[in-house]
């Protein structure tokens, strides 16, 4: 079993997966910061000074009576809250990550398609039909190539 585990770890796929997970986690942190620190403040400003991080609904009062100025104040008072502003931030982050992954996969697929397109035929200069590369005579018009 240890030998099989060593073979699994030594394979490039396992190492590539580990590198992908680490880079993905770092990318997720960057996108989360982009959303919460750059995009959502601008969106909140355009929507009339709305701070999405502090949009919540109090489901149950805490030890201190409402209204709570911030989500942190509500949580400090022990209130049970539904944090829909943080959920909106998470949705925006997901859309950004999904779009970037779409672009990466699209680029990889395009690169693979150009690599896989191996030329196996040539065009006959007389009848313009497809002829195998090794052919010396066109099968359609019988002209010498």
Is residue 131 in a domain? no
**Spatial distance between the Cα atoms of 38 and 89, rounded to a whole number of angstroms:** 11
Is residue 72 in a domain? yes
- Band the pLDDT of 12: cuts 50, 70, 90: low
Q: What is the number of domains present in the chain?
A: 1
What percent helix, strand, coil does the chain show, rounded to 5?
60, 10, 30
Is residue 23 in a domain? yes
61-114 confidence digits (pLDDT tens): 877 777 888 888 888 888 899 999 889 888 888 888 888 888 888 988 888 776
Please say whether the beta carbons of 55 and 83 come within 8 A. yes
> Which residues form the domain of 68?
2-118
CATH number of the domain enclosing 64: 1.10.1200.120
Is residue 34 in a domain? yes
**Spatial distance between the Cα atoms of 109 and 19, rounded to a whole number of angstroms:** 20
Is residue 134 in a domain? no
Please say whether the beta carbons of 90 and 109 come within 8 A. no
């Amino acid at each position: 079993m240890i030998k099989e585990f060593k073979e699994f770890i030594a394979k490039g796929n396992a190492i590539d997966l580990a590198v992908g997970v680490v880079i993905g986690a770092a990318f997720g942190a960057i996108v989360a910061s982009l959303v919460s620190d750059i995009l959502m403040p601008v969106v909140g400003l355009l929507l009339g000074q709305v701070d999405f991080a502090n949009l919540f609904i109090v489901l149950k009062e805490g030890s201190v009576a409402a209204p709570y100025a911030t989500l942190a104040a509500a949580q400090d008072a022990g209130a049970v809250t539904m944090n829909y502003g943080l959920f909106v931030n998470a949705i925006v982050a997901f859309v950004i990550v999904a779009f970037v992954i779409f672009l990466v996969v699209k680029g990889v697929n395009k690169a693979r398609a150009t690599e896989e397109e191996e030329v196996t035929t040539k065009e006959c200069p007389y009848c313009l039909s497809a002829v195998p590369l090794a052919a010396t005579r066109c099968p359609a018009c019988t002209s010498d190539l």
